[in-house]
Structure 1
Amino acid sequence: MKMEELTKGDGYKVPAAHHPFMRLGLEKLEEFHDEVVDLEATLADVVKLGGADAEKKSTRLIKQLRAFEPSITMIGQIKSGKTSLVNAMVGRPNLLPADVNPWTSVVTSLHLNAPMANDAPTASFQFFSQGEWDHLIENGGRIGELSSRAGADEELEKVRAQISEMRDKTKARLGRKFELLLGQKHSYAELTDDLVQRYVCMGDDFEDLDEEDQQGRFADITKSADLYLSAKSIPMPLCIRDTPGVNDTFMMREQITINALRESRICVVVLSAHQALSSMDMGLIRLIANVKSREVIIFVNRIDELSNPAEQVPEIRDSILQTLKDNNGPENPELIFGSAYWANIALGETLDDIVAESAEAMFNWAEASLSAETAGMEINELVWHLSGVPQLYRALSDRISEGPGTEILAASRKRALNLVGGVRASSAMVSMRLDGDSVDVMPHDQLIAHLDKLEADNQKFLSDRMDIVFQQFSSRIDQSHKRFLDRALESLLQHLESKGEQEVWQYSPDGLRMLLRTSYQVMRRNVSSTCDQVFAAASADLADTYRTAFGVSVDNFSITPPAAPEIPAPVQLGQTIALDLQTSWWKGWWSRRKGYRAFASGFYDLIEAETAPIVDELKVRQAAEIRNLAETELRDFLAEQRGFLTDISEKSNLNKEDLKEIFGITAQQEREEIFDYIFEELSDSTAAHAKGDA
């Protein structure tokens, strides 16, 4: 089989569960879907007025609306039951393997209801590249780099021994194919549970299995999995990303989870009711502290294993909130308690298989949590309600509809308003010509030259303003970085002077994170303000162009500027650095230093090297990404308007008979009434959402 070849999966396609009760909690998404359908109908009306060019633009807008796929990243403790929860959410209890090899670092993206071509694969698995594998093997990942910088030879040898063991097992399993597989992708036309197990789950007994059926055969080198599923209970496309647990030996999973969080606006943190959240989960807390509180949901799983959930849940809630407060976590996050085990039981045909202790916990929790709204529920629906999944979906629905959903609708309505405006201007010009009026228009070549200059001027305006924003941001970041290092060094010296070299010094890097986060928030506001100013100026220039190029006066005509792009959260700030490791590792570093000078110079060099990549990530990669978002938004807006203007220009050169054939579908009075109706409908919806956001 060729690596990129589309192949058939093995065995039967496992159907998803489609119980009516799985729609519980998804009401807001239903409402959002209805708004999308209404907007699509409005765009279809525009097609009737604008001909082939308007149809092309409307079809593109509708396609973008239908492809909207908000994503949710699931992160959490190992053994929190996160994967079982994901399986329950999509109605397939056995889809993703819940017990995986400790090495496995696969991000599995479940694309629900995604629009797909008939010949598109339903499962794709991407392997680590040769460079990524070499970084792990040769340097020991981030822990290996840190150990090497600190001269922690003993720790480095432990890391190398563990990596060597993993490498040997992987090569033994894959043989000569191992090197060839790195960097490749396997795609399949049919998704099966066995297929997922082969790439995501680790098995043990390989010798007795057929080569192509070995469970977990590729799990060590699989980086990501994309699975495409139908979910009838969910009214729109949705992506749920299951990430590996964040705590692992080489910090591979941490970086992979950070990358997954970058691609999502909503984060679900899954905790175990037994583990709850402690200061030992600082890796988790650091990650979610850099995401907006409103976009973090905490799901406390496995309450089915509590002896008395009615009494224990309030205690666990208080403990989690206090731990977050003590460790600068997000303020007032939404906490939901439940059981993936109960959810998956509810999806089955019978409840007879439920563990006795779990049933007792369910009765206990039911007495404390059920209300009048559940009185008429069937037994499976009742268990589903007690599982907490409907409450989780309700929280997710709220955040999707209020966040990225509102944004995509607002952006689409603005583009639709501009489309209507362009079609209306074109209609007015055509109407005047059909009535025999003389229309004085700018020559086509002159219009193109004018638009070229308008585009260049506005792009330069944006670039110059962005240069100022990011220069200020870079300066603030550098100052914050140096201030932190100077303060930490001063604290170290004071410790040595007052307590000597025998007592290990501890210093939290959270102060640096807070300084960098504040600088990032200022930059985010400045970018949004700059975009609003530049986009408004471009819109005014374009409105003037309509008037000067065609001399047509149109009622209610204006160009609506696009919204500033959403700025991604600085999740890289959650990355573990040396000062976070207040463990035997740090004590080992401390014990190898002798003399104040050795402590001071060694510490400064180590922490500067450790934090420099985070600073560079913000200043360089993330700044470049944000600049690109803004420039792309402006470029697409100007390109769209160029299409409207050149279309009108071309129609001004057509003879009357051609104009009638292209544009004369209804009486002009009827056309004007339809224009007014569409304009008012789009304007009212846009204004209502803007008022709601305020």
Structure 2
Amino acid sequence: MKMEELTKGDGYKVPAAHHPFMRLGLEKLEAFHDEVTDLEATLADVVKLGGSEAEKKAGKLIKQLRMFEPSITMIGQIKSGKTSLVNAMVGRPDLLPADVNPWTSVVTSLHLNAPLPVDAPTATFQFFSQGEWDHLVENGGRIGELSARAGADEELEKVRVQIAEMRDKTKARLGRKFELLLGQKHSYAELNDDLVQRYVCMGDDFEDMEEEDQQGQFADITKSADLYLKADAIPMPLCLRDTPGVNDTFMMREQITINALRDSRICVVVLSAHQALTSMDMGLIRLIANVKSREVIIFVNRIDELSNPGEQVPEIRDSILQTLADNNGPEQPELIFGSAYWANIALSENLNDIVSESAEAMFNWAEASLDADTAGMESNELVWHLSGVPQLYRALSERIAEGPGAEVLSASRKRALNLVGGVRASNSMVSMRLDGEQAQVMPPHELMRHLETLETDNLKYLNDRLDIVFQQFGSRVDQSHKRFLDRALESLLQHLENNGEDEVWQYSPDGLRMLLRTSYQVMRRNVASACDQVFNSAAQDLADTYRSAFGVQVENFAITPPASPEIPAPVQLGKTIALDLQTSWWKGWWKRRKGYRAFASGFYDLIEAETAPIVDELKVRQAEDIRGMAERELRDFLAEQRGFLTDISEKSSVNVDDLEDIFGITAQQEREELFDYIFEELSDNVPAEA
């Protein structure tokens, strides 16, 4: 195709969400979905062999596979075009409002292709709780809290004035319902644009409008939105989580974004080509520095607004990588350049809608980036390719398939292997009895008592091991925290001795973050090691139970232990603290100190109070969450095996004539052959270290 044909409309009238070219870049996800489908078919074969108990367990496993919804969190600055990019990715250019009031702090989760019950809502909006609202309006949110702690009265008063203005507008808009709405949730059966505008987009002109038509009516108090929609181009469930920009005055969005990142394994950072990474983006760098580099993708948006993207993009790339290296950001993250504007133009019915300056930039970028592979593309498909969205989806597909997707498949195959083992052991018991052999069986009450003891012992074993890991982690974190405070205080005193009190002192807290991150990584490895040891021990205990309880020798029989839980990244380390904010209030704090002792004690108290919540988050909440994940994994594993063993116990006492009616006799050889086939099919796809 000639370059001048790019902006000519070619009569493409397919609805946006159904454009065939939207599948570009999703090949790895399609391959992953095929693997899931194959595993579901294998589980259906297990059902044929195992009766109602196997059907129940296989059905539960199939349901979990179908419910798997990898989550991708989109973060970035305000005005980076992040929301427009999300809209393009789902083929709905007008779905989410891109121009929202800076107050809006809604995390919007788009659940694509999620399997829902018939009567489930397709849109749910959660409001801030009373406590969350009070923290903002009474204490000034995070900035107010920090300013009050530092004694920055002038800054605190500015915060209070702005928040009071927002509070008054909100109460005027919502009236007496305001207090009742906090902490509530609104759900709707059908999703439409007016609904999204009412909860997500902030409007200011509410005069002479009917209440049900008010744009942005609830936007001030909406904390999160969950929207469920179909995306035909995407072959499986997927969640795109659009977060508010992080560079707001009150840092109310920072914790919201941190929580969203904690719930996702993959993060897309959206930057504007005009500003790439500036000092305003240091908060972004701090957040993504705590996520594995492989799981961070940087999408540089709005290249359609560059005068010469062919020459400017390499310069921007070098600048971003250098800034990340200078500020301890992710090492060599994947960078993709594109334009959400072009993507949404490609989804439109007429390419001639593109503005002339953007068209010129597109020609320039096409000359620099297109290759022979794009020669046969139609106009819309070519624009879609130039937008960078296919490259973004390709990067996401690879990370999903190789990361959480591979983990889910591995875990499901392990559980399927255990299901096959349990069904086969049950089948062997039936075969023995049909052949007239007498089986030595542990009495049911004794079996249950044995299994209860086994669960109690292994849970204690797990918690004892984790106690050691978390005690070591807590001690290491406390030491790192104290060393940081001591070094910072020493640096402050040296500054005062060398420069006096007139020159403002600065000190980066990045050293503390690095120490804590290293401690967390050590803890993560130790938790995995402890879980592997305990889970393997539990699996061996269960294998011994099969033999001692029933005396059945089964070919290819083993209990496969579950994998240790995936431990979330310590994204809380990216939280802004006082030393990150070298702004006017910090200078004000400095000028209010008189004498070295006042500086020393005031600084130590301030920074200790600022960093203590981060340290406690790692030592207490993260540790509790990790322990809970490990316990749930072990309990689920043991419960599943208890079901298998109970089933065998029941079949050991069923009348032989009834067994013949249930299983028959002549098909036994065929059953054994199918067992062997399924076992080999599953074993070939489970990693050797499992």
| TM score, norm. by length of structure 1 | 0.97
The answer to whether the aligner puts 1:100 opposite 2:100 as a matched pair is yes
Where do 1:544-693 residues align within 5 Å? 544-664=544-664, 667-687=667-687
Residue 8 of structure 2 corresponds to none
Is the contact between residue 247 and residue 280 of structure 2 (CA under 8 Å) also seen in structure 1?
no
Where do 1:30-429 residues align within 5 Å? 30-429=30-429
Residue 3 of structure 2 corresponds to none
**What do you get for the CA RMSD once the two structures are aligned?**
1.1
List runs of 5+ in structure 1 lacking aligned partners: 1-13
- 2:18 alignment partner, SS class: coil
- 1:17 alignment partner, SS class: helix
Is the contact between residue 50 and residue 663 of structure 1 (CA under 8 Å) also seen in structure 2?
no
Moved runs in structure 1, 4+ residues, more than 4 A? none
| Aligned-partner Cα distance in 2 for 1:665–1:150 | 81
Is the contact between residue 279 and residue 323 of structure 1 (CA under 8 Å) also seen in structure 2?
no
- 1:647-674, CA deviations, whole angstroms, 9 ceiling, x for partnerless residues? 0001000011221233337621111110
| Aligned-partner Cα distance in 2 for 1:406–1:527 | 21
- 1:580-602, CA deviations, whole angstroms, 9 ceiling, x for partnerless residues? 00111211111111110010000
Is the contact between residue 43 and residue 62 of structure 2 (CA under 8 Å) also seen in structure 1?
yes
Is the contact between residue 16 and residue 348 of structure 2 (CA under 8 Å) also seen in structure 1?
no
Residue 29 of structure 1 corresponds to 29
Letter in 1 for 2:103: W
- 1:340-374, CA deviations, whole angstroms, 9 ceiling, x for partnerless residues? 00000000111111000000000000001111110
| Aligned-partner Cα distance in 2 for 1:675–1:288 | 47
Letter in 1 for 2:530: T
Residue 441 of structure 2 corresponds to 441
Residue 11 of structure 1 corresponds to none
- 1:551-586, CA deviations, whole angstroms, 9 ceiling, x for partnerless residues? 011111000000000000000000000000011121
- 1:227 alignment partner, SS class: strand
The answer to whether the aligner puts 1:510 opposite 2:510 as a matched pair is yes
- 1:66 alignment partner, SS class: helix
Deviation at 1:15, TM superposition (A): 7.5
Letter in 1 for 2:430: V
Is the contact between residue 474 and residue 619 of structure 2 (CA under 8 Å) also seen in structure 1?
yes
Letter in 2 for 1:125: F
Is the contact between residue 455 and residue 638 of structure 2 (CA under 8 Å) also seen in structure 1?
yes
- 1:75 alignment partner, SS class: strand
Residue 539 of structure 1 corresponds to 539
Letter in 2 for 1:632: R
Segment drifting more, 257-266 vs 196-205: 196-205
Deviation at 1:247, TM superposition (A): 1.1
Residue 526 of structure 2 corresponds to 526
| Aligned-partner Cα distance in 2 for 1:297–1:73 | 10
- 1:466-524, CA deviations, whole angstroms, 9 ceiling, x for partnerless residues? 10000001100100000000000000000000111111100000000000001100000
- 1:526 alignment partner, SS class: helix
Deviation at 1:249, TM superposition (A): 1.6
| Aligned-partner Cα distance in 2 for 1:180–1:479 | 46
| Aligned-partner Cα distance in 1 for 2:120–2:280 | 43
| Aligned-partner Cα distance in 2 for 1:15–1:351 | 14
Deviation at 1:391, TM superposition (A): 0.2
Deviation at 1:525, TM superposition (A): 0.2
- 1:313-351, CA deviations, whole angstroms, 9 ceiling, x for partnerless residues? 000000000000000000000000000000000001111
Distance change >3 Å, CA 514–CA 437, structure 1 → 2: same
Letter in 2 for 1:650: E
Residue 9 of structure 2 corresponds to none
| Aligned-partner Cα distance in 2 for 1:559–1:284 | 45
Residue 455 of structure 1 corresponds to 455
| Aligned-partner Cα distance in 2 for 1:98–1:687 | 44
The answer to whether the aligner puts 1:474 opposite 2:474 as a matched pair is yes
| Aligned-partner Cα distance in 2 for 1:360–1:508 | 44
- 2:226 alignment partner, SS class: strand
| Aligned-partner Cα distance in 1 for 2:229–2:223 | 20
Identity of aligned residues (%): 86
Letter in 2 for 1:105: S
Residue 484 of structure 1 corresponds to 484
| Aligned-partner Cα distance in 2 for 1:130–1:301 | 37
- 1:236-260, CA deviations, whole angstroms, 9 ceiling, x for partnerless residues? 0000000000011211100000000
- 1:212-246, CA deviations, whole angstroms, 9 ceiling, x for partnerless residues? 10100110000000000000000000000000000
Distance change >3 Å, CA 665–CA 497, structure 1 → 2: farther
- 2:687 alignment partner, SS class: helix
Is the contact between residue 269 and residue 296 of structure 1 (CA under 8 Å) also seen in structure 2?
yes
Letter in 2 for 1:295: E
Letter in 1 for 2:394: R
Letter in 1 for 2:132: E
- 2:313 alignment partner, SS class: helix
Is the contact between residue 296 and residue 334 of structure 2 (CA under 8 Å) also seen in structure 1?
yes
- 1:558 alignment partner, SS class: coil
| Aligned-partner Cα distance in 1 for 2:245–2:70 | 22
Letter in 1 for 2:503: E
Segment drifting more, 655-664 vs 399-408: 655-664
Distance change >3 Å, CA 157–CA 674, structure 1 → 2: same
Deviation at 1:177, TM superposition (A): 1.1
Deviation at 1:74, TM superposition (A): 0.1
| Aligned-partner Cα distance in 1 for 2:405–2:199 | 33
Is the contact between residue 17 and residue 233 of structure 2 (CA under 8 Å) also seen in structure 1?
no
- 1:73 alignment partner, SS class: strand
| Aligned-partner Cα distance in 2 for 1:664–1:519 | 59
List runs of 5+ in structure 2 lacking aligned partners: 1-13
| Aligned-partner Cα distance in 2 for 1:107–1:301 | 20
| Aligned-partner Cα distance in 2 for 1:241–1:122 | 16
Deviation at 1:16, TM superposition (A): 5.8
Residue 10 of structure 2 corresponds to none
- 1:687 alignment partner, SS class: coil
Is the contact between residue 16 and residue 231 of structure 1 (CA under 8 Å) also seen in structure 2?
no
Is the contact between residue 261 and residue 571 of structure 1 (CA under 8 Å) also seen in structure 2?
yes
- 2:354 alignment partner, SS class: coil
Is the contact between residue 410 and residue 687 of structure 2 (CA under 8 Å) also seen in structure 1?
no
| TM score, norm. by length of structure 2 | 0.97
